[in-house]
Amino acid sequence: MKTGLVLGLGAAFSPVAQAFGGEPEKRTVLPNKRNMPPFELPPLPYGYNALEPLVDTLTMQVHHDKHHAAYVNNLNAALEDSTMKGMVIEDILRGVDKDTKVQKIRNNAGGHYNHNLFWQLMAPGGKPIDTSGKLFKAIVETFGSYDTFEKQFKDAAKGVFGSGWAWLCAGPGKKLYISQTPNQDNPIMVNLVDKPGVPLLGIDVWEHAYYLKHQNRRADYADAFMQLVNWDTVESRFSAL
Ligand code: MN3
């Protein structure tokens, strides 16, 4: 596994790799089996009902067991006849582009990576940001205040047209920025996004993430999500860069 990571993440040419720096094994975003092929559906890090009442049990069951599972299965199937077979997930994400021949890999690799991250970005009751930590300092430096950041992040979530994600990312030099991606694209897809970077925090704004509870009220869901954020995860991702 270690060899694979070193080989896979030694792509010093990409802005994402540059943003990581440090020891090769530290460059991976999620250093564990779920990033290595064949890809597997990770268990939720908490119970289906653990995020109630902000995110309901049925939504979590369907979202994880059906939607995320489908991305994993479809990704493994799409890789069967691909030169990308055997790559770690980050390299697949860096490799996809607009070519329709990699459309299925693009959609499902993004779907797997994004959801794998998404589950870890929430915790029952949320875990508050450490106001004495480096991430908080960087947020205040970049956005002026934490509240301004949160407003801009929620505005980005509300502003995604159709299905997609809003992100807090770190670009080269660990510079923070907020972005949006359509469908299951993400900021690691250097051939597809204007500003590539490392996703630190991401909100899934596909209707499957919130419609049963919040119906058309995406803003309510974004408010709920912010109460559930596991800032320990976000901080550790930022620290690892
Ligand atoms: Mn989803």
Q: What is the pLDDT of residues 10-68, one digit of tens each?
A: 333 333 443 443 333 334 444 455 677 899 999 999 999 999 999 999 999 999 999 99
Residue-level pLDDT at 36: 78
Task: Tell me how far the alpha carbon of residue 59 lies from the centroid of ligand 1, in angstroms.
Answer: 10
Distance 9 CA to ligand 1 centre (A): 26
Contacts of 179 (CB under 8 A, 6+ apart): 156, 166, 167, 169, 187, 193, 194, 195, 197
pLDDT > 90? residue 124: yes
Looking at the chain, the whole-number percentage of residues with pLDDT higher than 90 is 84
Tell me the CA–centroid distance for residue 117 and ligand 1, in Å. Answer: 11
Share of the chain above pLDDT 70, in %: 86
165: β partners: 181, 204
CA angle in degrees (0–180, nearest 5) for 207-220-127: 100
Residue 33 is predicted with a pLDDT of 55
Confidence at residue 238, expressed as pLDDT on a 0 to 100 scale: 97
- pLDDT given at position 2: 33
Ligand 1 center–CA 209 separation, angstroms: 5
Model pTM above 0.85? yes
* Ligand 1 center–CA 207 separation, angstroms: 8
199 preceded by a cis bond (ω within 30 of 0):
no
Give 13 Cα–ligand 1 centroid separation in angstroms: 30
Please say if the pLDDT value at position 1 is more than 90. no
By CB atoms closer than 10 A (0-12, 13-18, 19+), residue 38 is: exposed
Domain 1-40+57-241 has CATH 1.20.1250.20: no
As residues whose CB is below 5 A from the ion ligand 1, the structure lists 204, 206, 209
Domain ranges of the chain: 1-40+57-241
The token pair that represents 136 in the structure block: 């908080």
Contact 105, 84 (CB under 8 A): yes
Whether 170 shows a pLDDT value over 70: the answer reads yes
- Per the model's pLDDT, the better-predicted residue between 192 and 1 turns out to be 192
Q: 131 CA distance to ligand 1 centroid (A)?
A: 30
Q: What pLDDT was estimated at residue 34?
A: 61
Kindly report the average pLDDT of the chain as a whole number: 88
pLDDT band at residue 5 under the 50/70/90 scheme: very low
Q: Residue 83 Cα, ligand 1 centroid: separation in angstroms?
A: 27
> pLDDT value at position 37?
80
Q: Express each pLDDT in 191-211 by its tens digit.
A: 999 999 999 999 999 999 999
203, β-bridge pairs = 166
Dist. CA 112 → ligand 1 center (Å): 9
pLDDT of residue 35: 72
pLDDT of residue 105: 98
118 Cα to the center of ligand 1, angstroms: 8
* CA 22 / ligand 1 centre spacing (Å): 32
